[in-house]
Structure 1
Amino acid sequence: MKKYYGWKPSLAVLIAASAVLSGCMGDPGGGAGKVEEAETPSAVNEPVTVKLATSQGIFNEAEFKQYIVDPVAKKYPNINVEYINTSEKGSSLNEIIAAGNIPDIVVGYGSTIKSLIELQLFYNMEPLIKQNKFDVNRIIPEMIDYIRVNGGSNDLGGLPVYNNAFGLFYNKTLFDKFAVPYPKDGMTWEEIGDLGKKMTRNYDGVQYRGLFPDNVNRMVNQITLYQLDKDNKATITTDPWKKAFDLWESIYNYPGNSDAPYNTMNFGENQKAFVEGRLAMITGYSSTVNALKSAPDMNWDVVTYPQHKDNMGFSTNVDTPNMSITAQSKNKQAAFLVIETALSDEVQLQLARNGKMSVLSSEKVKEEFGKAIPEFAGKTYNLSSMTRLKPSVPRISKYQGSDTNKVILDAYESVLKKEKDINTALRDADEQINAIVQAKIRQE
């Protein structure tokens, strides 16, 4: 899935953006404190265009029309919503801001909120939420917490639009072929790893692999294992990190399962192997549901995401695109009505039924997950299992990002490729993360 993780604007972009923003900001704080005077929860009676910027990976144009444009037009005929595709060349968030094309709404993942802060676009939506009497309690609480954490304060700089739910997918045909019991809801990583070893074998000249658990950061986030301590020093050489790598070694890195070309943590290649029937289990998410549409003859199902035995009840981290109003928007009330519409029961139910999990706490909506996907008609899948565990909310340092995450991924891949032992890989990763953090601190 497309994310903005770790994006850092160049100095030139920041200078250009600062020049653009200084002309439209009367208040250094973005005017958030004046919202109650400037904005009222009145109907939008005059035609207005709300510019919404997001990536193709979050909403393609067809989805944008289905879940945003059409519902808004039905409810608020005077509001037109314009789609800015930040995946297009020359239209990334930093490029459109530098060009002076400031959107009213930006939709992106957690680090996008950090980028909005850096570009002085961050806006606290709570006054508008209160004025419009929007009930935030309808939303899964961890998803609201996730937005506050990424904003670095108690201000609420966005609302989630849908949830990338996670689960363990398995090929029932392969389990039947090898007479191994199916995975069940509520299993731990160790239990799933044992199943994977039973399923890994060469049969009739075909190498079948047992398990792809995705990258180690998924489990690290599940148990909220920190990269940095309170003094922003790397913690990668500590025992909890060694245990995390040891666990991944035991459930993934063994002959027949992690041989080349699978001695990397490439999700796309492993998902392809699963859909093609050569991999018995994969920890996937909403995109895996969509990938399985192309395999109508495959006999598969899904159970709850594997749990860490020391932190039962939790899936991996919150993974939601969030809708944020920009501080410079001149159409904040109309923008909020767009967001409110996307979070209506009707739209959220439609999202869930079509395979984009709702962010609402409603059990009724959760139970409808995937039920309108035409390719799954007449079949009974345990898709609601993907919503039964709580998502975790790692409290990450502002110095952590895709750059430090990549250090962890590279460290584990060096172990997979037998280039380093675990202790060496962790020690090198610790040094690299400290260097990255110190460089960021010097730039402040």
Structure 2
Amino acid sequence: MTKFSKLWLTSLLILSFASGCSSTNTAPVDKGKGEEAIKTDPATIKMAVSNNMFTEEDFAKYVSEPVKKKYPHITVERINTSEKGSSMTDLIAAGTVPDIVGYYPGNLSNINDLNLTFNIEDLIKKHRFDTSRIAPEVMETVKIASNQSYIVGFAAYHNPFGLFYNKDVFDRMGIPYPKDNMTWDDLKELSVKITRVDNGIQYRGLYPDFLYRGARQLALPYADFQTNKSLLNTDPWKDLFQLWSSMYEISGMTAGDYKMLNYGKNEQAFIKGELAMLAGYSNTLNALKKAPDVKWDVVTYPSNKKAPGVAHRVDSPVLAITSQSPNKDAAFQVLETILSDEVQTDMVRNGRMTVLNSQKVKDEFGKGIPEFNGKNLIALTKPKMAIISQIKYLNEGEVDKITNNAFQSVINKEKDINTALREADELLNKHIETQLKNIK
């Protein structure tokens, strides 16, 4: 067995057994005699989050209002990092350090680069917060993504993934609808049957999205951090390239405007009734809410045979308390409130997946959206979440560009898979060298 195979096998074992064990669980503890009292002085907590994590309306609904109700002495203010001049780099340069910052897992290590990292485990004990309420794969992802051995924050919610299908397209073709627990291979066969020109219209079967979706589902490692070398030019990545490209090689799948991979365009094609299946995520519910005439439903996200029952990796805004916060008790109480059953249930009812283990909370998914009555939305909550693979010092956005460009060149028949992977491997090694120089 090669060194890479061992690394990859370890990742898959973590996926399989994360629900049974986790080193991050912290059971409630008794308060000691000498323990510091929890402050109740009036406090204003500044939380820096992007607009796609919490809109102003959602922030009020899921953060500031429930916190004020539970802890009247705490006021929570939102800093929208999506606004020009309000990025974390801009804020710190201006001398404004928020009490809480939000990052998605792929960028969570930024807190280390910005000297914001804080170990919240003492606060967990002090506030008697039971981390076993949170899904272990979520807790493990936070640790791996932060590059720390301790807990730096909590995930607020999860963006779940599913397979959306347009009933009109299936009815037109006389083909049965997809079902829960189908694999990419199953759906590729279905896509072949659907993809055709009918009455002058090009109908397409399945849009699986970018290659990195498949990589994150398998928790494929980008690099070996012992040798600081790329792992892109290896069999597991080659296998994924072959699977993913086979779904686009179906005649007609990349016709016309769909030569370049683009989720938004394919979402619109799905709504228009020219794409039968869209492997997507919960944000698509917002688009479908605005298209009441579309006859659609959803089943579980397609699984890879190498990771059965696993959908996409944890896709959650992680809220971390900064080391500079002067109000850490109040900041923790904000996190505690967001993770309460009440707030999590409210989020779930409105289309955001809980990070809690509670099946009772999960069962409420989408029930607050009357437009979706009768839809199989519970399918988005069924699969396991994959755990993030180690990123360390890599810029995940840059790595995704490398793999996506390589894959696009294969789809465009500009390069074969071996050439694309070899060149991508070289580019990633250059990125690794650059990142290591920056660290030094």
The answer to whether the 8 Å contact 2:119/2:150 transfers is yes
Deviation at 1:253, TM superposition (A): 2.7
Hey, what's the Cα distance between the residues in 2 that align with 1:37 and 1:413?
62
Residue 389 (structure 2) pairs with residue 395 (structure 1): yes
1:28 is matched with none
User: How many Å apart are 1:181 and its aligned residue?
Assistant: 1.3
The equivalent of 2:307 in structure 1 is: 311
Contact 2:145 2:391 in 1 (8 A): no
State the partner residue of 2:120.
Answer: 125
Task: Please give the alpha-carbon distance, in whole angstroms, between the structure 1 residues aligned to 2:164 and 2:332.
Answer: 37
1:37 shift after superposition? 12
Partner of 1:265: 261
Aligned to 1:110: 105
Q: 2:44 aligns with which of 23, 29, 49?
A: 49
Q: How many aligned residue pairs are there?
A: 406
Q: Residues 37 and 436 of structure 1: is their aligned pair in 2 closer, same or farther, counting only changes over 3 Å?
A: farther
SS of 2:222 mapped into structure 1? coil
Number of the residue aligned with 1:436: 431
Counterpart of 2:292 in structure 1 is: 296
In the alignment, which residue of structure 2 is the partner of 1:3? Answer: none
What RMSD, in angstroms, separates the aligned Cα atoms of the two structures?
1.6
Q: Where in structure 2 are the equivalents of 1:30-429 lying within 5 Å?
A: 40=36, 42=38, 44=40, 46-229=41-224, 230-376=226-372, 379-400=373-394, 401-429=396-424
8 Å Cα contact 1:290/1:355 also seen in 2: no
Could you tell me how far apart the structure 2 residues matched to 1:39 and 1:161 are?
A: 28
> Equivalents in 1 of 2:34, 2:282: separation in Å?
40
In the alignment, the residues of structure 2 paired with residue 195 and residue 40 of structure 1 have an alpha-carbon distance, to the nearest angstrom, of 62
Cα distance in 1 for partners of 2:52, 2:263 equals 16
Deviates most, 267-276 or 405-414: 267-276
TM value normalised by structure 1: 0.89
8 A Cα contact 1:55 1:86, kept in partner: yes
Match of 1:4 in 2: none
Which consecutive residues of structure 2, in runs of 5 or more, have no partner in the other structure? 1-31
SS in structure 1 of the partner of residue 151 of structure 2: coil
Contact kept? 1:307, 1:313, Cα under 8 Å: yes
**Residues 39 and 332, structure 1, Cα contact 8 Å, conserved in 2:** no
* Whole-angstrom distance in 2 between the partners of 1:81 and 1:37: 31
What amino acid does structure 1 have at the position aligned with 2:254? S
Distance 1:399 1:272 in 2: 36
Q: Hey, what's the Cα distance between the residues in 1 that align with 2:36 and 2:340?
A: 20
Deviations 1:268-287 (A, max 9, x none): 11111112211100111110
* d(CA) in 2 for partners of 1:351, 1:389: 19
Q: 1:195 to 1:78 in 2, by over 3 A?
A: same
Equivalent pairs: percent with the same residue? 47
1:70–1:39 CA distance, 2 compared to 1 (3 A):
farther
Q: Whole-Å Cα distance in 2 between the matches of residues 115 and 173 of structure 1? A: 45
Shift of 1:43: 5.3
Identify unmatched segments of 5+ residues in structure 1. Answer: 1-35
Cα distance change of structure 1 residues 208 and 392 upon mapping to structure 2, 3 Å threshold: same
CA distance in 1, matches of 2:393, 2:44: 36
